[in-house]
Amino acid sequence: MTNNMSASESLKQSTEPLDVERIRQDFPILQQQVNGHRLAFLDSAASSQRPQSVIDAISHYYENDHANVHRGVHTLSHRATDKYEGAREKVRQFINAASTREIVFTRGTTEAINLVANSLGEQFSKGDEIIISHLEHHSNIVPWQMLCERTGATLRVIPINHKGEILIEDFLAMLGSRTKLIAVSHVSNALGTINPVADIISAAKKRNVPVLIDGAQAVPHQSVDVAALDCDFYAFSGHKMCGPTGIGVLYAREDLLKIMPPYQGGGDMILTVSFDGTTYNELPYKFEAGTPNISGAIGLGAAIDYLQQVGMANISAHESKLLNYATTAVEDIEGLTIIGTAASKAGVLSFNIDGIHPHDLGTVLDHQGVAIRTGHHCAMPVMEFFGLAGTARASLGFYNNHEDIDQLVNALHVAIKMFRS
């Protein structure tokens, strides 16, 4: 696959089985023993691991090219700027945005959402409504609650059913003349539900309501095409897609970014500054105050190169098969309940075992070299809906294999034996 192939084209490509053992060789961190066992890393929904090429790209940048961007006339500054802007172009291609003016680098998904809440959202007032869903991560709840407190706007929440699926009819009934923004996740981090974002966006478009998609859990696992989706905002994080921490992306439609006020003030986001007033820089720099995370963006660019080389369609197919394998493998375990059984799911397996608290499960599994996340997954309302304090969550990356799942299942049996005996 070439790098200039758009995301929509790659989706149409036929898939080929991943050579997962070869891929695993690209990830140095997976080559270790943890607590005397082979590492089965099943916590990619919290943060993925990085291939050597991403680590090398960051090292190479610091060893050879670092200087501040958009400023110097010297060679290193040019190189750093070219690489930083080159990464922006890679992001643009990866999600099929129309222009790099629509690609704003942020610290992550959380900052991208806060940017929209603090910029576009400041125009909202009493009586206006923002719609989110019951499935959201705290980062797509709290910024809107804070905005509602500031502006008097009202937060509406799309309910879910016991499979962990959004009730689309309830959403359609909620959508009205007061709706000013819809902010929903593409994929639920806690349950893995793939939300019907295309349906949500098309309903919103009929009423000219902008839609923000939290894509943190979608971008690493499936091909995303913002043009095909026709969303207004799409937010995601580098560290969940084999890139560095501290870098993320806000895709936003150019006409919206033009009318939105800056989020933060500082260097780089201005054209001229005087004490009589300041003129703001062009897009996307108007929204990138201060020296950006240059190495983070370059690392993200390298991660995109790597993902495209593997192929997003291949990644989706592999993870989907592995999720089925894992689901079948744990279903037979006595007392185990899978939380989140949506018809359409990405690589997340959230579950509880009768009589064993998720935290204890996490510790016992860690002793067997199995890394999972336990707790509320920054989605307390989801846990509340299911009447749980938390769950154990195994989440998949394309570098996971059957052995990882078998190791998980064996470790679960060890835990059950220990706590039930």
Partner 1 sequence: MNSAEDLKALYRDTVLEHSRNPRHCGRLESATHSAIGHNPLCGDKVTVHLKIDGDRIEDIAFEGTGCAISLASASIMTETEIHHTVDEAKQETDKILQQFSSTQDNAPAIEGEMAALGSVRQYPSRIKCATLAWKTLEAALSDDAQQVTTEK
Binding site for partner 1 (CB under 8 A): 35-37, 357-360, 363-364, 367, 374-376, 380, 383, 389-390, 418-419
- CA gap 386, 339 in Å, rounded: 8
- Rank residues 58 and 364 by Cβ distance to partner 1 and give the closer one: 364
Which is catalytic among the residues 148, 231, 242, 378? 378
User: What SS3 state is found at 190?
Assistant: coil
- CA gap 168, 143 in Å, rounded: 23
Is 263 within 8 Å of 288 (Cβ atoms)?
A: no
- CA gap 300, 316 in Å, rounded: 19
Shortest Å, Cβ 390 to partner 1: 5
- Rank residues 146 and 380 by Cβ distance to partner 1 and give the closer one: 380
Shortest Å, Cβ 194 to partner 1: 25
CB atoms within 10 A of CB 366: 16
Is 256 within 8 Å of 115 (Cβ atoms)?
A: no
- Rank residues 174 and 414 by Cβ distance to partner 1 and give the closer one: 414
Is 88 within 8 Å of 103 (Cβ atoms)?
A: yes
- Rank residues 14 and 421 by Cβ distance to partner 1 and give the closer one: 421
Note if the bond before 261 is cis, omega within 30 degrees. Answer: no
- CA gap 40, 238 in Å, rounded: 22
Shortest Å, Cβ 273 to partner 1: 40
Measure Cα distances from 113 to 50, 121, 183 in Å. Answer: 25, 10, 9
Shortest Å, Cβ 376 to partner 1: 4
Q: Are strands 179-185 and 211-214 parallel, antiparallel or unpaired?
A: parallel
Catalytic annotation present for 378: yes
- CA gap 386, 392 in Å, rounded: 14
- CA gap 179, 2 in Å, rounded: 41
- CA gap 298, 84 in Å, rounded: 6
- Rank residues 115 and 365 by Cβ distance to partner 1 and give the closer one: 365
Shortest Å, Cβ 375 to partner 1: 5
Q: Which of 232, 191, 202, 239 is nearest to 214 (CA)?
A: 232
Shortest Å, Cβ 228 to partner 1: 37
- Rank residues 123 and 363 by Cβ distance to partner 1 and give the closer one: 363
Positions marked catalytic = 378
